Structures are given as C-alpha cells and as structure tokens.
Amino acid sequence: MAQTCSCCNDEPQGCCEPREAEAEERSLWLEYGPKGLGVLVFVAALLWPTVTGMDVLTSLPWHLATYLPLLLYVAAYLLIGGEVLLAAARNIGRGQIFDENFLMAVASLGAFAIGERAEAVAVMLFYQVGDFFQDRALARSRRSISDLMDIRPDFARLMAVGTPTDDLSIDDINRRQTWEVVAPDAVATGQLIVVRFGDKVPRDGTVIQGASRLDTAALTGEAKPVEVSAGSTVLSGSINLGDTFIVRVDVDWAESTVEKISELVEAAALKKAPVENFITRFARYYTPIVVVLAVALAVLPPLVTTLIAGVGGAATGVWAQWLSRGLIFLVVSCPCALVISIPLAYFGGIGGASRRGILVKGGNYLDALTRVRTIVFDKTGTLTRCDYDGRAHVDEELKPGSKAAIAALRSEGVHSLIMLSGDKQEVADRFAGQLGLDAAYGELLPQDKVARFEEMQAAAAARGELLAFVGDGVNDAPVLARSDVGIAMGGVGTDAAVEAADIVLMTDEVGKIAEARRIAVKTQRIVWQNIALALGVKVLIMTLAAFGASTMWEAVFGDVGVTLIATLNAARAMRST
C-alpha cells in the first residue's frame, strides 16, 4: 500500500513537498519583500542630496521637492521597521512593555524626533539584518539539537491480519509489500510489523523472522551496530542497517522505549537550572531599570545645563546631544543575549548527552552534577556483575570498564568514591580495593543504605557540595530518590530507574558518569562565557554612551551582534566532546 500524507489525500509520500516549498516561498516574500523595498527607498533618500539640482525637481507641485526626502525616510522606516512598531504596540496592549521591540521603537522614534532621520532608519535596518542572522542561527541550533533527540519513528509497516508469514520469505514480503503504513501508536500489542532497510524500528518487540543489524546510537550512545535475528528483542528508535525483518509488538506505545525517552527529554526543558531561573528574574527587573537610567541620562544632564546656562540655542543642542546618548544607552541595554542563549546552551547540553545515551531530566541536574565531589555506588549490577549457571551463582567479577571509570571520575574532579553493599564486608572491601575506592560499607539492609547515605549527604552539604548515588534503579530506588543527583544504570526499561533517578544511563557503562559530568561542566562553562560576554560588552558600550563615546551602530552590535555570537557559542553545547 502506498504511503499517504494528510495534505494530499491519497497521493504518495513526498507529494506535499512542492506545496510546502511554494508556501514557504510566499511566506519569505511576504516577510522580506517589504523590507527589501524599504532598503531601496532608504537608498533613494540617502541619494537625494545628489539629485536636488536636477531640473525635473523644480516642477514638482506642493513643495514636494522640500518634503519628499522626509516622506522617503518615513516610508523606508515603516517598510523596514513597521513590524517592530506593531509588535511593541501589541505587547504594550498586553501589559508587556519592556521588551526589545519597545526599546528599538523608542530609540528609533527618538532619533527621528531629534532630526537624525537616516540614523533612525539605519537603526531599524541593522537591527532587522542582525535579527535575521540571529534567527537563522537560533533556528539552526535548535534544529540541530532537535535532530539529535528526534528518535521517534514516523510510521510503521503493519502486516495485514492473517498474512501467513511462515509461508512467505523476506524476499516475498518485500516484493508483495503485504503491509499497511500507519502511525506507530496505531499498532496494537501482538500485531506484526515489517522493518525495512533504513527504517526506524517503530515499536518495542521480538524479531520473529529475518536477521539484520541495528544502529542503537540514538538510544544507548553505542556506535557499534547490534546484530539481531529471530528471538532477539528490539527497541523502538533503532535504525535498521541491513535486511528486512518482522517484529511482533510486545508492549503498549506509552511503555515503548522511544516514547519514554522522548517524554523524558521534552520534560527536561521544564526543569531549569538555577542560573536560567535567575536570568528570567533578572530580565524582569533589569529592563525597566535600564529604561529609567536611559531616561535619566537623556533628561538630567541637559536639564542641569539649561538651568545653569539659561534657555537658548546652545541649551537646545545640549538636549539633542543627551537625548541621543540616552537612545544609544537604550538600544544596547536589551538582555536578549542572555534570555536566548542560556536556555539554548542547557538544551544543547541535554541534547548532546542524550545522543551519548545519557538522559538528563533537566538543566538543573546538569548544574548539580558540576557540584558533585562525592559519588556513592551500589555494588552488584553497578560496579560488578554475577555469572550464573542455571540458577546457581557461580562468580562475581568487576564489570568491564569499572576500574577505568573510577579513574576517569577522579580526573574529572570527583575526590571521594564510596561503595554501599548488602554483601559481606570482606567482599565489599575486596572489590573496593581492586577499584581504588576510598571506602566501602558492607552488610547493609536497604534501610541501612538510606541511613548511611543520609549521613554522608549531610557531611557533603556542610562542605557546600552535592552527593550523587549510582544504582540499578530497582532495589536502590529509595537512595536514588534521596540523593542530590540520582544516576540509574541499565536503560529506560526499568520503571524504578526512570521515576527515581535524575540521570538515566541507557547502558550499563559506569564510564558514562564521567562523560555526563564532562558534558555538564562544558555546558556550564559556555553559560558563564555568554553571561560574561553579554554583560561585559553591554556595560562597556553603555558607559561609553554616557560619555558620548559610542554611536548607535555600536549599540546595535552590543544588542543583536552579541546575541548572535552568544547563540553560536551556545550551540557548541550540543557537541558532547
């Protein structure tokens, strides 16, 4: 059955693309056409002095030769900056006065008022050009981050009811296309789905026919393809790198791996880091304060000068001079670089971690991870593994990579590594010695683990540090819930891990903890770089404006230019290394 798309009824998939392209082209023209015309009108206004001597101008009626330059500047201003004025008016009507649109509108209208027509239009023009590049960079960054985390399959190839799979080879199934293309959440448990080369596995299930290789990097961060064949369990979101195979759906859509991961990542955006919350509050008070300061800069010095020197032409010039300084001060004061780039950096850090098979439930946990200096581990299933022969316990050994993971954590600044275990003390000591841990506590019942952990947590808090706990998410759920940063091993399949932990590792690799901390530190470093850049440049230009040493062009750079730089810098957070 041919795949369909909603915008074109029963036409094949891809039929919507030309229509969408046409709609996008019309949208771009509507958005940028008037601005392009405004640029042409602005150029005409700037060239006006060179053509004032032409004979044709002397015949213009109603003194158009006198007023035409003003009309050209007004027309250019409205064509280029009309949407900014409308946005400012709409926001004022909603009670949201102090935003970037308001500041730009006041600054450019003020420039018109003091006779700086070309400068008023140019402010809007450079603001719009900078805003265009800023929007493109922001959209590209967000799209890249979203692509990293976009593991949801778009469709499922549902086998028709009653199809005799035993009598059909994979080649027959490919040739006959005995399936219906439906949404992944429309497939019921127990139904059969076909997964072809390049498809994302739409639902968790068991392979009943065929064999292939799967790319699970989006789920686990594991670059090596996984071999699957009849009887293998497959997770939704994996990508088929080989031949066609058939899967029996084993779990409901709400419980599928891809849906759980997607919900976790989407919910992470709601849990903001402390610095994000601070910037939100900061912008709420900062913008009105700088508006008051700009008004004071524009009014108080010339008022004092006028009172001393008396009213006259010189005093009038002083008013224009200080008003210009106040307008420059106003333009550069916009806090957009902070408001846009900081949430983007945390979102990028979460996306980069997700790509590596590390699910972080919020920017607050990334921040918290940078303050962790002590990590407490469960033993069995986290640092060690047991081998079994039937039901008989044969031996317990260190998990591959555990020792290297401990060394990596020390290199990342974690100075205290401790083990909690329900096993005998001598067993705990033996493994702690092999790993190079600082301490090990054995013979602990679940409630004893909680009590011991809380003691260590109180001691860490007294030092101004946070404490992390790493466990398998089943027996250790109480400690995971109490920890400052709870890290669950073994993937999203364990409900206790998802619910109790703050960070979920999609694999059993302890080494992912050091990687998570490295990502957290990098993200926080980018955030503070942007804060220093934005505030540093703005304070510098505002100070220069107060002394008349900066122009409106520098003010526009201090707003839009710095925001663009900060946005590009924030996009680096999505790269986990």
Tens of pLDDT along the chain (577 residues)? 334 343 433 333 444 444 544 555 566 667 778 888 988 998 888 887 665 555 555 555 555 656 778 888 899 999 998 888 998 889 888 887 777 788 788 888 887 877 778 878 888 888 788 778 777 766 776 666 666 566 778 899 998 766 666 666 777 777 767 688 999 999 999 999 999 999 999 999 999 999 999 988 777 766 688 999 999 999 888 999 999 999 999 999 888 888 877 777 667 666 777 887 887 788 778 878 888 898 899 888 888 877 776 655 456 678 888 888 888 888 888 787 888 888 888 888 888 888 888 888 888 999 999 999 999 999 888 898 877 676 555 688 898 899 999 999 999 999 999 999 988 999 999 999 999 999 999 998 888 888 999 999 999 999 989 999 998 756 788 888 889 999 988 765 456 666 778 898 888 789 999 999 999 999 999 999 999 999 999 899 989 988 888 887 788 788 888 888 888 898 888 776 5
DSSP state of 243: S
Q: Which amino acid is at 194?
A: V
CATH C-level class of 156-199+204-250:
mainly beta
Instruction: Determine the pLDDT at residue 101.
Output: 82
Q: How far apart are CA 68 and CA 81, in angstroms?
A: 19
Cβ-in-10-Å burial (0-12, 13-18, 19+) of 21 comes to exposed
Instruction: Determine the pLDDT at residue 523.
Output: 93
Catalytic residue of the set 99, 204, 367, 378: 378
Q: How far apart are CA 522 and CA 573, in angstroms?
A: 7
Q: Which amino acid is at 312?
A: G
Length of the chain measured in residues? 577
User: Among residues 383, 395, 448, which one has the least CA distance to residue 419?
Assistant: 383
Domain with CATH 2.70.150.10 in the chain: 156-199+204-250
CATH C-level class of 358-506:
alpha beta
pLDDT tens-digit readout, 415-473: 999 999 988 999 999 999 999 999 999 998 888 888 999 999 999 999 989 999 998 75
Instruction: Determine the pLDDT at residue 493.
Output: 47
Residues 6+ apart with CB under 8 A from 58: 65
Instruction: Determine the pLDDT at residue 393.
Output: 54
Instruction: Determine the pLDDT at residue 115.
Output: 77
- Are 146 and 219 spatial neighbours (Cβ–Cβ below 8 Å)? no
Cβ-in-10-Å burial (0-12, 13-18, 19+) of 334 comes to buried
Residues 6+ apart with CB under 8 A from 21: none
**Strand ranges of the sheet holding 372-378, from the earlier edge strand across to the other edge:** 358-360, 503-505, 485-488, 466-471, 372-378, 416-420, 439-441
- Are 444 and 401 spatial neighbours (Cβ–Cβ below 8 Å)? no
Cβ-in-10-Å burial (0-12, 13-18, 19+) of 129 comes to middle
Domain with CATH 3.40.50.1000 in the chain: 358-506
Tokens of 42: 């602005």
Instruction: Determine the pLDDT at residue 27.
Output: 64
**Strand ranges of the sheet holding 205-209, from the earlier edge strand across to the other edge:** 179-182, 156-159, 192-195, 245-249, 205-209, 233-234
Instruction: Determine the pLDDT at residue 94.
Output: 85
Residues 6+ apart with CB under 8 A from 155: 3, 181, 182, 183, 184, 202
Instruction: Determine the pLDDT at residue 53.
Output: 53
Number of H helices, E strands in the chain: 20, 18
User: Among residues 110, 196, 128, 109, which one has the least CA distance to residue 156?
Assistant: 196
* Phi, psi of 202, rounded to the nearest 5 degrees: -80, -25
Token look-up 């600044």 returns: 413
Q: How far apart are CA 166 and CA 176, in angstroms?
A: 15
**Catalytic-residue membership of 448:** no
